[in-house]
Amino acid sequence: MPIALAPLAARLPSSPLTRFAPAPTGVLHLGHVVNAIYVWGLARALGGRVLLRVENHDKQRCRPEYEAALLEDLDWLGFEPDVFPPAAFRAGACEGRQSDRGLHYTRAAQSLIARGLVYGCQCTRREIDAANAAAGSAGPGGDADELHYPGTCRARGLALGGPVGWRLVVDPGVVTFDDAVHGPSRQDPWAQCGDLLLRDRLGNWTYQFAVTVDDLAHGVDLVVRGDDLFASTGRQMLLGRLLGRPRPPVFLHHPLVMKSRTQKLSKADGDTGVRDLRAAGWSAERVIGHAAHLAELLAAEREVAVSELPSLVGV
């Protein structure tokens, strides 16, 4: 189903700062291109700016060579970030790269620790699964990706200094928001996942924590991303509020693109990588047009330049 963005214009901030935020765990593929079409299309249509963020919070899975490749692919495609452009990353340490922002995450966590909201957790994923099974549930979240943490370590008083995860005390309660595509929405972060992990046992800041700190620090007020992240909106809003954010960003979740009517797109498919298409002789405009067509933003496949994107997203 194509999404009609035009009626949503009233829900979108004017002159927003939005972000394109890939994780360098692989190369850019058509799913990223679809997201970039929405991000740049909306930013340009609304007179806003795009910030580039490299989400390499997971030290075990992210690779510098993937970062270099994604910067090069963005240049080739013609997507130009206004804040933290590729040159800023290539120059060395950059505030757009999460691994260069450890101090900011530590400071943000300290503000929560000082209020007694964080405790140490030693549980492995297997132990959390076992605790949930013993309690006769896979957790109330009901989402396969989400693990409901049953609060095992809440009262154990583990020191945060050792090899323990850092969890945020979350109280049950509904967070409401007006998603620019989905409309009025309600999520209960505690019911979904229990106490939130801020830092894992290996010392990696979690995705939820790092992006919430980043969005607040950089003043991102429009978050444009795929439906696969819709369920995490409530917890990011809750976290942002605890970190002192007065107003949450506007969230817009667009449909994920399919390879065909029945096949989901995946990084494992060599034929969806931007580099593979480029190597096969495709032009950047053809790649963007193909992605736009897959996203049903274009009725018929044709070459599309970045400058055309505002009219494509139709705000």
Q: Which residues form the interface with Zn ion (CB under 5 A)?
A: 121, 123, 152-153
Our CB check for Zn ion shows the closer of 123 and 306 to be 123
For residue 13, give the DSSP letter: P
State the Cα torsion 195-196-202-204 to the nearest 10°.
Answer: -170
Our CB check for Zn ion shows the closer of 13 and 140 to be 140
Query: What's the rounded Cα separation, in Å, for the pair 191 and 115?
Result: 23
What DSSP string describes 112-159? HHTTT-EEEE---HHHHHHHHHHTTSS-TT--TT---B--TTTTT---
Our CB check for Zn ion shows the closer of 197 and 295 to be 197
Identity (one letter) of the amino acid at 169? V
Place of tokens 């549980």: 123
Q: CB of residue 166 vs Zn ion: minimum separation in angstroms?
A: 11
Residues forming beta bridges with residue 178, ordered by sequence position: 184
Our CB check for Zn ion shows the closer of 121 and 294 to be 121
Q: CB of residue 195 vs Zn ion: minimum separation in angstroms?
A: 9
- Could you list the beta-strand ranges (E) of the chain: 17-20, 49-52, 118-121, 165-168, 175-179, 183-187, 196-199, 222-226, 250-254
Query: How far is CA 81 from its chain centroid?
Result: 17
Q: CB of residue 191 vs Zn ion: minimum separation in angstroms?
A: 18
Our CB check for Zn ion shows the closer of 123 and 237 to be 123
Our CB check for Zn ion shows the closer of 159 and 268 to be 159
Q: CB of residue 123 vs Zn ion: minimum separation in angstroms?
A: 3
Q: CB of residue 139 vs Zn ion: minimum separation in angstroms?
A: 14
Q: CB of residue 206 vs Zn ion: minimum separation in angstroms?
A: 14
